[in-house]
């Protein structure tokens, strides 16, 4: 439920017990959620350091009213917008095109950095939820729902950028990144498939928690870096049933339990635990099964076995398409493109390039950023292959095999430290 727009306080009026909302992007502050009840003086200190002039608050969800405030405070003023300056026409078309290219590249890189921050933060929130799931099940499940809502805002409005960020596996905290990858991609497909808000919410929660049963499996078997023996494989496959048992203990609704139970079932009946086929599977579970399979190919525990997104999609479509819901697979290929954003490719002129965005009408001709050591990285050449009929993609490459200078040039990302610390209860609603 959105907070009232006209109940606001200044930073000096903040107090413990006040339920507030931070009107900043989710990734730009250290709290787990934008809305929460203040629980400590340390949180107040952090909030005052954000540079925000006003905070919205909800009197109904607050333990006390802010000191010195009237019952109905003055609405927060809208910050003034700088007047638009009309762009001067550039007499040199070549220079104008270069400036346009540089601006497009800079904007894409900015969006990637923003989405990556949100992605890393979401993984941290999920880690803290997982740590406290059994101790505080009701509160944690509420936080899972809120996390799904935040993910919709942070990722689904910029799907290509989100796919790019998902494409680079960071290493460490694999469980949390896998759950996020699965949930984000599942909700992208749901949006394209016409799911309503409620069904998408259920799907997002189920995808986030689909591997919850691994908590009851020894770690060396749950996240193996060796070939499992038949008994070990059978034990690992039990995580679907264990997940349903855990889900019932936590009070998860039946639609989420079905996703947990069926996320390893396959449309041709070759999955587990029950060997269900096609229509026997829950529609949401069919989506999670598809994207879970894809992400496991791209981001296995043993990174030496990782496929490129192009390799994974090609394998799934060319050799294993009977295992998946046909429509969901078709939609996924359309969303990701033949060469998903973040794919490193070799062009027919022997140039290396990074796929920047897909072309749904012509999936073999995406936008690419070209590696050219003679051109500064922040002025890199961006090509729309639809406008370059003489240039084709000949091969998708694994980033791990690239020379360091090429990887550094093509990656728009500054490496973010993938660790999560601080108080897991910080910013948590009570």
Per-residue pLDDT tens digits for 318-333 = 999 999 999 999 999 8
Query: Residue 377: is its pLDDT beyond 60?
Result: yes
Calculate mean pLDDT across residues 362-380: 84
- Give CA–CA dist 106/100, Å, rounded: 10
Work out the pLDDT band at 428, boundaries 50, 70, 90.
very low
Work out the pLDDT band at 174, boundaries 50, 70, 90.
low
Query: Residue 162: is its pLDDT beyond 90?
Result: no
What are the residue ranges spanned by the domains of the chain?
8-61, 93-336, 344-410
Q: Within 10 A of 211 (CB to CB), how many other CB atoms are there?
A: 22
Per-residue pLDDT tens digits for 250-303 = 999 999 999 999 999 999 999 999 999 999 999 999 999 999 999 999 888 777
Taking domain 93-336, whether its CATH number is 3.50.50.60 is answered by no
Sorted by sequence, the CB contacts under 8 Å of residue 341 that are 6+ apart come out as 160, 161, 163, 164, 167, 355, 356, 357, 358, 366
Enter the pTM of the model.
0.77
Sorted by sequence, the CB contacts under 8 Å of residue 54 that are 6+ apart come out as 8, 9, 10, 23, 76, 77
User: What average pLDDT is seen over the chain?
Assistant: 82
Per-residue pLDDT tens digits for 8-37 = 999 999 999 999 999 887 767 888 778 888
Q: Are strands 35-37 and 55-57 parallel, antiparallel or unpaired?
A: unpaired
* DSSP string over 328-369: HHHHHHHHH-SS-TT-EEEETTS-EEEEEE--TTSTTS-EEE
Rg (CA), the chain: 24
Q: Do the beta carbons of residue 328 and residue 193 sit within 8 Å?
A: yes
Per-residue pLDDT tens digits for 45-76 = 999 999 999 999 999 889 988 876 554 444 44
Q: Do the beta carbons of residue 235 and residue 183 sit within 8 Å?
A: no
Task: Provide the pLDDT for residue 376.
Answer: 83
Backbone angles phi, psi at 14, to 5 degrees: -65, 145
CA dihedral 275, 277, 281, 284 (to 10 degrees): 110
What is the share, in percent, of the chain residues with pLDDT greater than 90?
40
């Amino acid at each position: 439920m959105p907070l009232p727009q006209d109940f606001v306080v200044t930073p000096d009026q903040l107090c413990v017990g006040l339920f507030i909302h931070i009107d900043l992007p989710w990734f730009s502050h250290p709290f787990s959620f934008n809305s929460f009840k203040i629980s400590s003086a340390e949180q107040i200190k952090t909030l005052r350091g954000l540079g925000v002039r006003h905070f919205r608050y909800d009197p109904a969800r607050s333990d006390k009213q802010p000191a010195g405030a009237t019952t109905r405070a003055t609405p927060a003023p809208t910050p003034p917008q700088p007047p638009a300056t009309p762009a001067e026409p550039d007499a040199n078309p070549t220079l104008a095109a270069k400036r346009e290219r540089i601006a497009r590249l800079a904007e894409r890189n900015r969006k990637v950095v923003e989405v990556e921050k949100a992605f890393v933060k979401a993984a941290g929130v999920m880690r803290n939820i997982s740590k406290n799931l059994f101790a505080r099940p009701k509160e944690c499940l509420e936080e899972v729902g809120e996390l799904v809502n935040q993910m919709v805002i942070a990722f689904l409005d910029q799907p290509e950028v989100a796919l790019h960020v998902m494409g680079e596996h960071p290493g460490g905290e694999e469980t949390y990144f896998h759950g996020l990858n699965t949930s984000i991609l599942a909700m992208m497909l749901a949006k394209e498939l016409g799911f309503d808000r409620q069904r998408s919410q259920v799907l997002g929660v189920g995808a986030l928690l689909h591997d919850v049963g691994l908590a009851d499996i020894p770690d060396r078997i749950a996240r193996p870096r060796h070939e499992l023996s038949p008994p070990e494989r059978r034990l690992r496959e039990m995580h679907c049933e264990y997940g349903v048992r855990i889900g019932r203990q936590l009070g998860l609704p039946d639609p989420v339990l079905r996703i947990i139970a069926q996320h390893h079932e396959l449309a041709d009946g070759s999955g587990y635990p029950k060997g269900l086929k096609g229509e026997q599977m829950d529609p949401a579970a069919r989506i999670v099964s598809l994207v879970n399979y894809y992400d496991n190919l791209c981001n296995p525990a043993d990174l030496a076995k990782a496929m490129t997104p192009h390799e994974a999609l090609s394998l799934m479509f060319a050799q294993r398409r009977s295992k998946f819901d046909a429509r969901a697979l078709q939609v996924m290929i359309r969303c990701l493109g033949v060469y998903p954003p973040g794919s490193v490719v070799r062009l027919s002129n022997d140039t290396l390039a990074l796929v920047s965005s897909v072309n749904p009408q012509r999936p073999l001709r995406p936008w690419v950023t070209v590696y050219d050591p003679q051109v500064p990285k922040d002025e890199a050449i961006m090509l729309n292959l639809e406008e370059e009929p003489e240039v084709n993609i000949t091969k998708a490459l694994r980033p791990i095999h690239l020379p360091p200078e090429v990887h550094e040039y093509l990656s728009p990302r500054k490496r973010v430290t993938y660790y999560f610390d601080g108080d897991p209860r910080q910013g948590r609603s009570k």
